[in-house]
Structure 1
């Protein structure tokens, strides 16, 4: 139970790491609700999403950032830039490392970037339930030789192992000050963006090869209905006709299944009936268009 006489504390903790380190799973588990979409594919998260954790009198705002990788497209550059900006704006940064993969080339590249300057750093070794503890110690030593970590945590975001201690330390670490968000606010992701992300999650889960990373989703229409339900119209943009054909499927079977699962998930999250309609359009080069990137919450600087 929170001590109302204790001073309020608030701060931002950026969650950084290579693609597939488990950042979004960690953020969702700490938040106790779905804030970021999750899939087995790398580069699932495309823009910064903030999750608001109420821990007694402390409010910790976790910023889930895109995985940092070597960019090729304008979309990639904007994603990586969003991750680094998220770190610069934070009171502290959590470097999440997949303990099974260890110190990969991708992790080493992030470490080099953090050496140029960052807020206080914490190391979070994730997926540690899949390894013998003896294998974790050399990795921890190796990373601590490269950077100064104020804290080190060994967790399993999937199972929830080690997260109580992480939450407690986060509550203590944020500075005294007024809360940054209303107490009942769980995320800064609005409902239109949430709908688009839930549809994109199903695309990631149900399609393969080049399709997932060449598709984007925009919510074109949001109509509140008198019976309390909502009609949502989303457009899926893909780069090529072949990708459009794969997404639609035989007789529209694939897009119907994407819509069915997304509708169920969105209904649970919004706690009301959702009427979801999907449209698939071919738009070559969308991942190089500034307007399309802005529409999905990315802003390329410079």
Structure 2
């Protein structure tokens, strides 16, 4: 049988997990392009990003969901609802677990972040049990861990009864990712592809542009600024010379946060704009003129417009 005789497949695969489990890194690895932003901070992804991966005759539409955690604010509730919604509509679900954090929490030698990650993983498992779901377990960040230690962790999690199979991967360097890709391809239903072959994401460009800038923001000020900022693309205009003019507003909650983003003489904001523009130039394949404004709005998390930009439900 030749490749042309093999039926095409297409479907959705949701990647769920605790914040900072490596979901965005895995989606970027599977698609081979920058679809989801990756920073040092947890809870980076705020909306499901549909990255598109190919494996032979199969097209896998990857839903990179927000991290699942215990929600406290309206934005938290919207993100968690979005994550479970993405999983519920998928043809396959991968539960990505940070193996290093899980083992550190078990040994009681881990940080508070490791313990929170393990608690979130336990919450996800209990929810999957309650829903009668069967998913794929992917143990991530296996770099440098002993095989017998990994096998023990794998068995303990598998014994929860919610997993059909287990993969051990490193999303950062690609170890084991091709095996996972092949398995997901086999789980996709037969049917025509949902997107053109050369398309790597199904994300509105205004949204992706805002997320690119937010990534640079947290890369630069991740020590000084808590998760109290948002980026909105307020204008996206095509110019006659083929370039794009993009205007964005960075919202912070307090007056004291504005100078952190501006930096001395505006140098921090200039760096954020330059790095974001470089990525956007590459993604769009044409020159981008980017203009950033920083505004203080204590109630930006109550803005219906921002929720709508990211496809999140406001009333949850």
TM-score by length of 1: 0.95
Residue 186 (str. 1) matches residue 205 (str. 2): no
**Secondary structure of the corresponding residue to residue 100 of structure 1:** helix
Q: Which residue of 2 aligns with 1:97?
A: 97
Which deviations, in whole Å up to 9, do the C-alpha atoms of 1:152-177 show, x marking residues without a partner?
Answer: 11011110111111111111111112
Asked whether the equivalents of residues 92 and 184 of structure 2 are also in contact (C-alpha less than 8 Å), the reply is no
Whether 1:240 aligns to 2:250 is no
Q: 1:118 to 1:242 in 2, by over 3 A?
A: farther
Alignment of structure 1 residues 234-273 onto 2, 5 Å: 234-273=248-287
C-alpha contact 1:91 1:119 (8 A) present in aligned 2: no
Q: How many Å separate the matches in 2 of 1:210 and 1:107?
A: 28
Residues 19-76 of structure 1, C-alpha deviations (whole Å, 9 max, x = no match)? 1100100010010001000011100111100111122211111100001111111111
In the other structure, the counterpart of 2:115 is: none
CA RMSD in angstroms, aligned pairs only:
1.5
Q: State the TM-score, normalizing by the size of structure 2.
A: 0.91
* Residue matched to 1:285: 299
Q: Secondary structure at the match of 1:152?
A: strand
Gaps of 5+ in 1: none
Q: Cα offset for 1:210?
A: 6.5
Which residue number in structure 1 is paired with residue 65 of structure 2? Answer: 65
| Contact kept in structure 2, 1:81 and 1:300, CA below 8 Å | no
**Number of aligned positions between the proteins:** 301
Which residue number corresponds to residue 19 of structure 1? 19
Q: Counterparts of 2:119 and 2:134 in 1: how far apart (Å)?
A: 23
Distance in 1 separating the partners of 2:314 and 2:5? 43
Q: Structure 1 runs of 4+ off > 4 angstroms?
A: none
Secondary structure in 1 aligned to 2:35?
Answer: coil
Change beyond 3 A, Cα 1:95–1:231: same
2:153 is paired with a residue whose SS is helix
Mark the CA change 1:5 to 1:301 in structure 2 (over 3 Å): closer, same or farther: farther
Q: Which moved more, 1:204-213 or 1:97-106?
A: 204-213
Match of 1:174 in 2: 188
Aligned residue runs from structure 1 range 186-225, under 5 A: 186-209=200-223, 211-225=225-239
30-39 vs 143-152, greater mean Cα deviation: 143-152
Aligned to 2:56: 56
CA offsets 1:229-252 (integer angstroms, 9 cap, x no match):
111111111111111121111221
Q: Cα deviation per residue 1:164-208 (whole Å; 9 max; x = unaligned)?
A: 111111111111122222333211112111110110001111113
Is 1:32 matched up with 2:32?
A: yes
Q: CA shift at 1:116, angstroms? A: 1.9
Stretch of structure 1 that moved more, 66-75 or 29-38: 66-75
Q: Secondary structure at the match of 2:191?
A: coil
Q: Which runs of 5+ in 2 are unaligned?
A: 104-117
